[in-house]
Chains A and B, each alone.
Chain A
């Protein structure tokens, strides 16, 4: 179990990323969010032997490093426009090595158990004037728009009209056979008109069977 020691602002160069962190985050996306929304979450940091290791928020730390010290030039940047001093706010904890690994894994694993309600997400996204910082683009938004079924007329245009004389569709025969039966089939039908075509082989076999 971990014990909470307190909040502290720690310089980026004193924060170590978690060794062997299995999660591979999207640093540019996180940086975009930081610039748009600011740092809305503390880094989760373990204090041990006067060192600070990030247990959760490793890619946020990397995005902050990517941002760099001072002004980035982005108008109304949520980070440097908001008193950025290259010292992210950290929640400091104390724990043993095994717990540190578990926290790092659980932080990435637990969200995998949740799933997204596309309808609710679509409603939220559509209520925003600007999607920057959400991780979604306007292209993504199209995926969440409520979609009416296509009209029968549209489908008819797409798939074409069917006349009575075209309404007969050829059946499909699908079955599995043992390798021995397959080899026997190929052997018996090697003189088929087009041996590359299984239908030609099958018709050849039917011809043989019916004499």
Chain B
């Protein structure tokens, strides 16, 4: 199974992607996107020509590339698609939540692989989020439109089990694997329940209940229950953080295996591998960020 990573121009315009990929042992399935939403939410601008140059520069590494979408400006998004195509870049078009479905219809008629974007602000809150069933209805409709035209879909920033377990997405991405260190949570893939469990590792009863899951993810639950684990004032904080992120990465890898077995989505065009593929969205490429990826790969092999 290949390691799949999503890199955004917004975060990685200065990253040496050759070194990044070779640092992970090569053979990385790289998905490149503009990071337009992140840029927009921080007030930054992305120039389409700069993005095109970046995509060309790392073209030998990139397997899938997405359009530079303009938040709230459908015409601007379409213009960027034309510009990038004019540069010889076969970019994935992006359809946003809130746009008329006829836009998706025309995208799916012209492309066999389309991304769904603009989902992230509506996904917070887990099961308590009343948007979930509405989002599900929206995604179902998107899939009906895509299927009718022989296209498959990518979900930007969305790896929720409800959506991915039920719908045949070809691919999806998420940066959730790194959230454990921020919120005291760890994600574990529960194959029997078909869901990604979010476990509070500071609560012993939770840890005991899911002890078997921890072991199946290659870690002793007792080690994580230690109050000294992930204590910022300890010397081994960095090591603990890596361990925690590695577990969640392993969980997403297991989730991908289950999803691929369940949906078996054929690869569109010149894309590689059967879906559903899960990409890890990396916001930085520091040695500390790459270490969990390396470790997860090592243990898998």
Contact = CB atoms under 8 A, between A and B. Distances in A.
A177 interface: no
A80 B211 CA distance: 40
Interface in B121-166: 121-125, 129, 131, 133-138, 140-141, 143-144, 147, 165-166
Contacts of A168: 97-98
A173 B121 CA distance: 8
A159 B137 contact: yes
Given A118-B191, A118-B192, A171 B122 contact: yes
B215 A167 contact: no
A169 B191 contact: no
A152 B167 CA distance: 8
A155 interface: yes
8 contacts: A113-B212, A156-B140, A159-B140, A160-B137, A161-B137, A167-B101, A168-B98, A172-B121
Nearest to A157: B140
B49 interface: no
B100 interface: yes
B168 interface: yes
A149 B212 contact: no
Given A118-B192, A167-B97, A113 B138 contact: no
B99 interface: yes
A173 B122 CA distance: 9
A152 B146 CA distance: 11
A50 interface: no
A172 B100 contact: no
A167 B99 contact: yes
Nearest to A148: B262
B197 interface: no
A169 B138 contact: yes
A149 B194 CA distance: 12
B144 A167 contact: no
Given A167-B97, A169-B97, A115 B212 contact: yes
Interface in A143-178: 149-150, 152-153, 155-156, 159-162, 164, 166-174
A159 B239 CA distance: 44
A16 to B, nearest CB: 30
Contacts of B140: 152, 155-156, 159
A139 to B, nearest CB: 16
Contacts of A174: 124-125
Given A116-B192, A162-B138, A169-B135, 11 more contacts: A115-B212, A150-B166, A153-B144, A156-B144, A159-B133, A159-B140, A167-B97, A169-B98, A169-B134, A172-B123, A172-B125
A132 B122 CA distance: 48
A112 interface: yes
Contacts of A149: 165-168, 262-263
Interface string A179-198: 00000000000000000000
A172 B123 CA distance: 7
B238 interface: no
Contacts of B236: none
B212 A112 contact: yes
Q: Which of A115, A118, A162, A169 has the most CB of B within 10 A?
A: A169
Contacts of A160: 137
Contacts of A159: 133, 136-137, 140
B2 interface: no
Contacts of A155: 136, 140, 166-167
B98 A167 contact: yes
A159 B143 CA distance: 13
A168 to B, nearest CB: 5
A100 B102 CA distance: 73
Sorted nearest first, the 8 A-B pairs with minimum C-beta distance are A159-B137, A171-B121, A172-B124, A174-B124, A155-B140, A164-B100, A162-B137, A169-B122
